[in-house]
């Protein structure tokens, strides 16, 4: 059965045209609008009556593109090779109010008896473009956050344990030279050296935990978060409801969300208590850290929570910070765990 033989009425075709979500705009050989469906009316802000018979290029093509559009159309009518026919292209269009926006455009020639007719199927891709741009910048921020973390780690190692160990080495040289003739002084230096060594070990342990806590790898989220809660300077209550371990990337993100939220609470919130709650519900892990402090936290300032927002988003989740002035702060991450 060919398409002409299918039992469809004009009314049906019209209904299809009218109910289409994409704009359908048909022009004749003069480039004038002969069809303009309701989606086109909604998208461009012009009614069919307002645009019927008008040059399409003057209605929906932005001014800076009109010259090249006219040239291309004229070339096609002279028998030139069509450049954008029968394929999807991304171009700019203009609305009634003058705003220019991105569209996906597919132009096909309607094969009917009589004069030439071309139909454009036009889809507003503003939201898709915005989502793509946000994805690109989110990826870039993730890379920047990782680089910044490595720089911070290098600086912490350099300024902390490395300096202590270097000074310790110099002190031990002094001990070696003095121990025979001044054992008391050498003994004093050794005491300092032992103390410095202990501090260097503690710093290294803290840094290692910041990179990735061993307890999280070995024992899972509950013991790791319990350890975080125990170290919190603000009294922290802790509850976790999860029957099985989430994937490692989810566990790590949940851990660092809690760690960052507790660190921020200790630094800025003036809270008297903080609650950590983790709930595995189906394929989703919900992590919430709530304090009773002064509020006013802004995740856009400072890279800590901002970086975690991107990290959680990379796993398909969301991180929301609610922190009204005087109303405490609640950091909540919802992370899909996959199947």
Partner 1 sequence: MPTRVLIVDDHARFRRSARRLLELEGYEVVGEAGDGDAAIAAVAELQPDVVLLDVNLPDTTGFDVAGRLRGTGVRVVLTSDRDASEIAPFAADAGACGFVPKGELSGARLALVLT
Return the exposure string of 219-254: e unless at least 16 CB atoms fall within 10 Å of the residue's CB, then b: ebbbebbbbbbeebebebebebebeeebeeebbbbb
The nearer residue to partner 1, 71 or 159, going by C-beta atoms, is 159
CA distances for 222 relative to 18, 278, 304, angstroms: 56, 9, 22
CA–CA separation, 257 vs 177, rounded Å?
51
The nearer residue to partner 1, 102 or 160, going by C-beta atoms, is 160
Q: Which range in 83-91, 163-171, 267-275, 293-301 contacts partner 1 by CB under 8 A?
A: 163-171
* Residue 167 binds partner 1 (CB under 8 A): yes
The nearer residue to partner 1, 126 or 177, going by C-beta atoms, is 177
The nearer residue to partner 1, 21 or 185, going by C-beta atoms, is 185
* Residue 195 binds partner 1 (CB under 8 A): no
Residues within window 261-280 making contact with partner 1, judged by CB under 8 A: none
* Residue 156 binds partner 1 (CB under 8 A): no
* Distance of closest approach, residue 188 Cβ to partner 1, in angstroms: 11
Q: Which range in 78-86, 166-174, 235-243, 251-259 contacts partner 1 by CB under 8 A?
A: 166-174
* Distance of closest approach, residue 147 Cβ to partner 1, in angstroms: 19
Q: Which range in 97-105, 137-145, 171-179, 259-267 contacts partner 1 by CB under 8 A?
A: 171-179
* Distance of closest approach, residue 197 Cβ to partner 1, in angstroms: 13
The nearer residue to partner 1, 125 or 167, going by C-beta atoms, is 167
* Distance of closest approach, residue 196 Cβ to partner 1, in angstroms: 8
* Distance of closest approach, residue 165 Cβ to partner 1, in angstroms: 8
Q: For residue 6, how far is the Cα from the chain centroid?
A: 48
* Distance of closest approach, residue 148 Cβ to partner 1, in angstroms: 18
24 within 8 A of 120, measured Cβ to Cβ:
yes
Q: Which of 16, 85, 89, 170 binds partner 1 (CB under 8 A)?
A: 170
Q: Which range in 82-90, 93-101, 129-137, 154-162 contacts partner 1 by CB under 8 A?
A: 154-162
Q: Which range in 1-9, 22-30, 51-59, 162-170 contacts partner 1 by CB under 8 A?
A: 162-170
Binding letters toward partner 1, positions 104-143, x by CB under 8 A: ----------------------------------------
Q: Which of 166, 208, 214, 320 binds partner 1 (CB under 8 A)?
A: 166
* Residue 204 binds partner 1 (CB under 8 A): no
CA–CA separation, 290 vs 239, rounded Å?
12
149, burial (CB in 10 Å: exposed 0-12, middle 13-18, buried 19+): middle
* Residue 171 binds partner 1 (CB under 8 A): yes
Binding site for partner 1 (CB under 8 A): 158-159, 162-171, 173-174, 177-178, 196
């Amino acid at each position: 059965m060919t398409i002409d033989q299918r039992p469809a009425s004009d009314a049906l075709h019209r209904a299809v045209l009218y109910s289409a979500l994409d704009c359908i705009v048909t022009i004749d050989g003069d480039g004038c609008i002969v069809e303009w469906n309701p989606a086109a009316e909604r998208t461009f802000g012009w009614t069919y009556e307002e645009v019927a018979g008008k040059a399409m290029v003057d209605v929906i093509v932005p001014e800076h593109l009109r010259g090249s559009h006219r040239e291309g159309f004229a070339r096609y009518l002279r028998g030139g090779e069509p450049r954008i026919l029968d394929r999807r292209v991304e171009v700019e269009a203009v609305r009634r109010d003058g705003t220019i926006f991105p569209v996906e455009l597919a132009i096909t020639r309607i094969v009917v008896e009589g004069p030439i007719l071309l139909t454009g199927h036009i889809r507003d891709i503003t939201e898709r473009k915005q989502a793509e741009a946000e994805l690109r910048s989110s990826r870039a921020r993730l890379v920047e956050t990782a680089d910044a973390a490595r720089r911070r780690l290098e600086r912490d190692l350099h300024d902390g344990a490395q300096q202590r160990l270097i000074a310790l080495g110099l002190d031990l040289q002094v001990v070696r030279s003095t121990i025979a003739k001044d054992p008391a002084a050498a003994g004093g230096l050794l005491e300092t050296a032992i103390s410095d060594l202990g501090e260097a070990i503690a710093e290294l342990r803290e840094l290692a935990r910041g990179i990735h806590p061993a307890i999280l790898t070995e024992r899972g989220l509950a013991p790791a978060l319990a350890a975080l809660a125990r170290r919190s300077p603000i009294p922290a209550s802790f509850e976790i409801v999860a029957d099985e371990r989430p994937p490692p990337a989810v566990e790590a993100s949940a851990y660092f969300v809690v760690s960052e939220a507790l660190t921020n609470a200790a630094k800025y919130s003036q809270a008297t208590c903080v609650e950590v709650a983790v709930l595995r519900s189906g394929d989703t892990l919900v992590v919430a850290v709530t304090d009773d402090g002064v509020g006013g936290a802004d995740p856009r300032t400072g890279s800590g929570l901002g970086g975690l927002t991107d990290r959680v988003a990379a796993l398909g989740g969301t991180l929301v910070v609610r922190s009204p002035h005087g109303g405490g702060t609640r950091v909540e991450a919802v992370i899909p765990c996959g199947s």
